[in-house]
Chain A
Amino acid sequence: MTILLMGHPNVGKSAVFNRLTGANITESNYPGTTVDFTESYTFIGGKEAKIIDVPGTFSTEPKDEAEKVAMEILKEHEDAIVVAVLDATKVERGLYLALEIMEKNYPVVIALNMWDDAVKQNISIDVDRLEEILGVPVVPTVAISGEGISNLANKITEASRIDAEKLEKRIENLQNEI
């Protein structure tokens, strides 16, 4: 099993990586510090899993060399599970990348990282509803302190592929309810 950690620069992918694997790569409050990838092994659901910390990328259409590296990694691991790490204070931006990856038919789990910052900024996110609409597991996390990480590890095995057409319908139906 291969797990890719993907998301925008500086959303805490490296911190999530360290928490999941017990590795010691440097975390920085600084966008673009991971320009190459790091991999490590851990046990998820009793099985050995390879986890790759993919350099930050804004979309699946690469604009620079670091993003190209990210896309190469995604293409090389067609059978991987993707943990889309989102900044909980900027959900929309992160969802864009997550949707792109879901459309490419990768099983996805969403980590709403920096949940504590969102709480402090009075941003509330209906996690259950988000899960229901997207059809993939959504887990709030605070990677620097470790909150939510074990929950995330458990949910990785529940990652699922989505049908983009059905997803679109679900979203359209929302509109009808309002």
Chain B
Amino acid sequence: MKFDTERRWELIDKISRETVNYGADKTTLKTILAELTVKPLTGIPFAVAVLYGFWAFFNAFAGFFTDGFFVPFFDNLWLPWLQDIFPLEGSWLYYVLVGDPGATNSFEAFGILTSGMFVAIGIVLPAIVAFYLFITILEDSGYMPRLAVLVDTILHKIGLHGFAVVPMILSLGCNVPGVASTRTLETKKQRFMMMILLSIFIPCGAQLGVMLSLIPEYFGYIMLYLLVGFFLFGYLLDRIIPGKSPEIMTDVPPFRLPTAANVTRKLWVKVKGFFTNAIPFVLLGVGVVNLLYLGGVIDWLSSVLEPVFTGWFGIPKETVAPLIAGFLRKDLAVAQLSAIDMTGFQLITSVVIISIYFPCIATFSMIIKEGRRSGGILKVLGGSLLTLSTVVFLWGGLLHLIGMVLGVR
């Protein structure tokens, strides 16, 4: 026998009256804080303070390990040692593994064992440990969903409805779980929209970390341009794609004190994942690019694509190599870009293009996997590629135009 909805609630009501007793509501510091963090007037300053705290913590933590330890280690010990003992100088194997024999720092050597190891362990590892540690504490304390509600409220005020803020925030850690979490959205349209917008415009934790470590002076501009793109294209897609995008409701959990055990466990899972899933891809990325150089493919691609790169996007043709590495790892691509000689504005443009031209392989496979559930693989794949290419050309080209109009270099 089954009850209908109304009857079920009636019965529950009776049970609850018999067994549950709600005492006087206590106003505690927790409930006051809970209230203050979601109201725009107090919530925005609070969010700014949290972000500032993150910035300060990140710089202190990643700076300590990267500049204080890994840079001297890789430049003064590791690189000279490898250059010294590695045989076959001048061979292709030397070029792929060690890179430039005359390099004086690990960053510009471009070998798998030199630049690859340095980027993976010296730069990205401290960055993601700092990033995930902070995010995990924010997550476990219950602040993240509050930030989501706050952002949602602000979006509503400027006329943007139905954006799923939770997958957005998750994507800042890694796009892969971000895309997976779109499964909690109600309509196929919403799922497709969020999947594609996230994977194009939201840089992942590793990329954010590398940007903060290597090009902090441009970080703000890049993020601003990406977020404006996110909402602008979101607005357009919402108009173009048929279907509904209903309001999104999020449950806001209570504030809780994060437990050390859970924070360490989560951090450990992520760091372990970084060693097994990310480092091999960073090294592979360096290797692939080096082999393509040796085979002349990069030079050929650079000259073929030069008109598009310099003419349309206004960036040097040398950015082709990082762009190829970017298929595997965006963090590596950003690190490679920062070693190329170009103007500040060109660097901003090329990092924006690295972010939006294609999701990394891992995210792309997740989109394909989820696409099966969200309206068929061909539709999702076709839609994504169409949106991707449109966005890259329009949004990337527009930035070049902005630069020309403003006369910045």
User: What is A's interface to B at a CB cutoff of 8 Å?
Assistant: 8-10, 24, 26-33, 35-36, 63-66, 69, 89, 91-92, 95-96, 99-100, 103-104, 117, 120-126, 129-130, 133-134, 144, 164-165, 167-168, 171-172, 174-175, 178
Contacts and interface: CB of A to CB of B under 8 A. Distances in A.
Contacts of B186: 63-64
Contacts of A29: 139-142, 144, 253, 256, 258
A144 B15 contact: no
Given A33-B181, A103-B2, 16 more contacts: A10-B253, A24-B265, A31-B145, A91-B16, A92-B20, A99-B11, A103-B3, A122-B23, A122-B25, A122-B26, A123-B21, A126-B19, A164-B3, A168-B3, A168-B11, A171-B15
A28 B191 CA distance: 22
A31 B250 CA distance: 8
B14 interface: yes
Contact of A27 (B9, B254, B262, B373): B262
A154 B66 CA distance: 51
A164 B2 CA distance: 7
Contacts of B191: 65
B194 interface: no
A95 B139 contact: no
A92 B13 contact: yes
A71 B183 CA distance: 14
Contacts of A100: 8
Contacts of B22: 122-123
Contact of A35 (B9, B16, B142, B180): B180
A130 B19 contact: yes
Contacts of A65: 183-185, 191, 373-374
A65 to B, nearest CB: 4
A66 B259 CA distance: 27
Given A29-B141, A36-B180, A144-B259, A125 B20 contact: yes
A1 B262 CA distance: 29
B181 A32 contact: yes
B84 interface: no
A65 B258 CA distance: 29
Interface in B3-33: 3, 8-9, 11-26
B1 interface: yes
B18 A133 contact: yes
B41 interface: no
Contact of B19 (A27, A63, A125): A125
A123 B23 contact: yes
B233 to A, nearest CB: 23
B379 to A, nearest CB: 16
Nearest to A144: B259
B15 to A, nearest CB: 6
B19 A64 contact: no
B85 interface: no
B77 interface: no
A81 B141 CA distance: 32
A64 B183 contact: yes
B253 A26 contact: no
Given A35-B183, A100-B8, A103-B1, A26 B266 contact: yes
A24 B14 CA distance: 39
Contacts of A92: 12-13, 16, 20
Contacts of B20: 91-92, 123-126
A26 B272 CA distance: 13
Contact of B15 (A8, A133, A164): A133
B254 A30 contact: no
B269 interface: yes
Contacts of A171: 11, 14-15
Which of B17, B166, B251, B262 lies at the interface centre, i.e. has the most chain A CB atoms within 10 A of its CB? B251
Interface in B359-375: 373-374
7 contacts: A9-B251, A27-B262, A28-B139, A35-B180, A64-B185, A99-B11, A144-B259
B180 to A, nearest CB: 6
Interface string B148-181: 0000000000000000001000000000000011
Contact of A96 (B12, B19, B265): B12
The 8 closest A-B pairs by CB, nearest first: A122-B23, A65-B183, A164-B1, A126-B19, A32-B184, A130-B19, A29-B142, A31-B251
